[in-house]
């Protein structure tokens, strides 16, 4: 079984990533993606752990000498978006697209695995490579954690491409890098009536208007200006025709926070507002809360380390601002220390845009960076 040279690895990764992009799969449906990853790993004699995973892969490269264990994580799922990028390898699956660059992330860590395999005889320790499913649902990390494959890991690193950073730029920061992400639903149940006789009913649309106005005061009147949080209502449904006051209304939205304190406070305040408005208007107002991942919370020591290694690898490094996007890498950081880094992918379209593209020139350098990061992290841990 031939070992790929660095230039061959670069060419392989471009082709591999394009193949994933052609055939994207949604969260928890990444069966072909999983098969392709396993096939690629086995082609270079890289060990795959036998774990009870529906989709996704955890591989391992064990050095010839004992030592610590680190993990490198990428995500593999796509989004329900109709692609409009017009690249030659546009998605063949109608309405499904790698619009967040997970095909890029997967290819980067696959390349890292190939590079590390070439030097496994010189490694003192173990590197676990996580190809995680279902990041877009916010809960794929838990499936990996439930296998206990990370129980003996000392530190974990993850990546995301960033279209706002140029090719050759790499960034991260101490503490909160992404937001905690929660989803909420509000169900209003009241009494319908003829539109000409509103006094005979209890208009849920009026009630909904008060809910919307009141929820927006949470940020402006309860969250200190020095802190950041978002409450966004993204769906409203009520009624079915022009001359009938309906008896129900429905709202849905998201809350984004960067601290556990604000996260808990906003949920409590929304419950108080919903209950209070229900009492005021003699209606049933029910808040349903769907907790998602918390904030990615980088350990300062490892965030600094990631930037230092980035500079060694030839990147222009920078401390980036926190982003209100969500990332379930945060669940790993609840169990063990680590850092999440942003790799410049060149833009011009943002994540989740139907015209989103990644500059493939960023692929091999990112793989080489994570190879160096893994080796240096083993050395740092070995030194204590």
Write the pLDDT tens digit of every residue in 90-112: 999 999 999 999 999 999 999 99
Domain ranges of the chain: 6-177+295-382, 180-291
DSSP assignments along 28-89, one per residue: T--HHHHHHHHHHHHHTT-EE-----SS-EEEEEE-SEEEEEEEEEEE---BS-------TT
Question: pLDDT digits over 285-325, tens only?
Answer: 999 999 999 999 999 999 999 999 999 999 999 999 999 99
| 384 band by pLDDT with thresholds 50, 70 and 90 | confident
On whether the CB atoms of residues 71 and 29 are closer than 8 A, the answer is no
Report yes or no: 378 and 309 within 8 Å, Cβ to Cβ: no
180-291 domain in CATH 3.30.70.360? yes
- pTM recorded for the entire structure: 0.94
**pLDDT tens, position by position, 196-227:** 999 999 999 999 999 999 999 999 999 998 88
1 has a pLDDT exceeding 90: no
148 is in an annotated binding site: no
| Predicted local confidence at residue 40, as pLDDT | 98
C-alpha distances out from residue 141 to 36, 132, 193, 379, Å? 20, 7, 48, 27
353 assigned binding-site residue: no
Examine the pLDDT at 3 and tell me if it is beyond 80: no
Give yes or no on whether 6-177+295-382 and 180-291 have one common fold.
no
Residues 6+ apart with CB under 8 A from 362: 104, 161, 167, 168, 343, 344, 345, 346
Q: What is the mean pLDDT of the chain?
A: 96
Specify the CATH number of the domain 6-177+295-382: 3.40.630.10
Q: How far apart are CA 254 and CA 182, in angstroms?
A: 6
For the chain, state the CA radius of gyration.
24
- Residue 21, marked binder: no
Rounded to whole angstroms, the Cα distance separating 127 from 18 reads 26
pLDDT confidence of residue 4: 76
pLDDT-derived band at 7, boundaries 50, 70, 90:
confident
Q: Is the dihedral of CA 35, 49, 146, 128 positive or negative?
A: negative
The two tokens of residue 42 are 């086995």
Please indicate if the annotation marks 139 as binding a ligand.
Answer: no
When pLDDT is averaged across residues 262-270 and rounded to a whole number, the result is 97
Task: Return the pLDDT at 2.
Answer: 58
136 is in an annotated binding site: yes
């Amino acid at each position: 079984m031939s070992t790929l040279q660095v230039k061959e690895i670069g060419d392989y990764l471009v082709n591999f990533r394009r193949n994933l992009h052609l055939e994207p799969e949604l969260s928890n449906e990444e069966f072909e993606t999983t098969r392709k990853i396993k096939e690629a790993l086995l082609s270079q004699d890289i060990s795959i752990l036998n774990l009870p995973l529906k989709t996704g892969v955890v591989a391992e490269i064990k050095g010839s000498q004992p030592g610590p264990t680190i993990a490198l994580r990428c995500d593999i799922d796509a989004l329900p978006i109709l692609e409009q990028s017009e690249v030659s390898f546009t998605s063949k699956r109608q309405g499904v697209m790698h619009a967040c660059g997970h095909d890029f992330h997967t290819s980067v860590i696959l390349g890292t695995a190939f590079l590390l395999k070439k030097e496994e005889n010189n490694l003192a320790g173990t590197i676990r490579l996580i190809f995680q499913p279902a990041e877009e649902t916010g809960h794929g990390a838990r499936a990996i954690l439930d296998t206990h494959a990370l129980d003996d890991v000392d530190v974990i690193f993850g990546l995301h491409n960033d279209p706002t950073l140029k090719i050759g730029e790499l960034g991260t920061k101490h503490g909160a890098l992404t937001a905690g992400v929660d989803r909420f639903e509000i169900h209003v149940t009241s009494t319908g009536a003829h539109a000409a006789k509103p006094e005979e009913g209890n208009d849920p649309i009026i009630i909904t208007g008060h809910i919307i106005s009141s929820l927006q005061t949470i940020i402006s009147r309860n969250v200190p200006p020095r802190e950041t949080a978002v409450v966004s209502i993204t769906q409203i449904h009520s009624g079915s025709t022009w001359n009938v006051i309906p008896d129900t209304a429905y709202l849905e939205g998201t809350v984004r926070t960067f601290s556990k304190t604000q996260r808990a406070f906003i949920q409590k305040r929304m419950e108080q507002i919903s209950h209070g408005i229900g009492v005021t208007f003699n209606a049933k107002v029910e808040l349903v809360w769907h907790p998602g991942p918390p904030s990615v919370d980088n350990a300062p020591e490892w965030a600094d380390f990631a930037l230092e290694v980035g500079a060694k690898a030839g990147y222009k490094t920078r401390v980036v601002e926190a982003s209100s996007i969500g990332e379930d890498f945060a669940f790993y950081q609840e169990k063990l220390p680590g850092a999440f880094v942003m790799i410049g992918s060149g833009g011009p379209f943002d994540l989740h845009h139907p015209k989103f593209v990644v500059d493939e020139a960023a692929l091999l350098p990112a793989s080489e960076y994570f190879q160096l990061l893994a080796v240096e992290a083993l050395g740092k841990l070995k030194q204590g």
